[in-house]
Amino acid sequence: MAQRSTDAPSRQERRKARTRAALMQAAQSVIAAGRLNAPILEITQAADVGMGSFYNHFDSREQLFQAALEDALERHAIRFDELSAGLDDPAHAFAQSFRLTGRIHRREPALSQLMLTYGLAMAAVDKGLARRARRDIDHAVRAGRFSVRDTDLAMVMVVGAGLCLGRLLRDQPERDSDASTDHVAQVVLRMLGMPDNDASEICQYPLPCLVDRTPHPEGHS
């Protein structure tokens, strides 16, 4: 009889992974609903797990929320990476991700709320959307497409612009979200040192279809 691979997760490990995934998915729903003060009991009930199981994975509600936010943003960053995989120009990759992120605020309100909840903390986090934005900025600088002396300051301005745009689009549902997003993207590109004509042209490129094909937290569905 063939011996089970030692690399394969055990039944207990799979069960623990499902429990953690269920907790993070429940937390993401709570955050998206703006209920940051929801008690742990409510979250565990939504996840259909026991209170004791919660503390096997997280020390506090705040730790769970942090993990849930980072998980959601990482999954969508992977999605953007897939959509920009064939782009040779890092400035184009950056612009495309910024323009797609702006469109999320209307098309995926739950993810929008997660981003707005995370706020400017995204600028300092080396994960998810922020890590990809930083990477694309650095690559564009090396390629001579951007002129940036301080990437940390650039990230503060990029994240700030993106969040303020998201809040505006949420507060003004009548506003043309695509046109507004592309206008802000042009301004951000010029801020990063791209000439006006190039910034205008790159923000007129067609965008790929924004479809979420990523799995739920840690394989949970």
Indicate which CATH number applies to the domain containing 183.
1.10.357.10
- What pLDDT does residue 213 have? 44
Give the pTM. Answer: 0.81
**pLDDT tens digits, residue range 84-119?**
988 999 999 999 999 999 999 999 888 888 888 877
The count of structural domains within the chain is: 1
Low-confidence ranges of the chain (pLDDT < 70): 1-8, 122-125, 127, 211-221
**pLDDT tens digits, residue range 45-62?**
999 998 888 999 999 999
Q: What tokens were used for 131?
A: 């890590």
Closest CA to 100 of 149, 125, 136: 136
Sequence-separated (6 or more) residues with CB below 8 Å from residue 167? 116
Enclosing domain of residue 104: 69-215
Q: What tokens were used for 39?
A: 């008690």
The answer as to whether 129 is a domain residue is yes
The answer as to whether 105 is a domain residue is yes
The answer as to whether 156 is a domain residue is yes
Cα separation, 209 vs 221, whole angstroms: 22
Cα separation, 108 vs 120, whole angstroms: 20
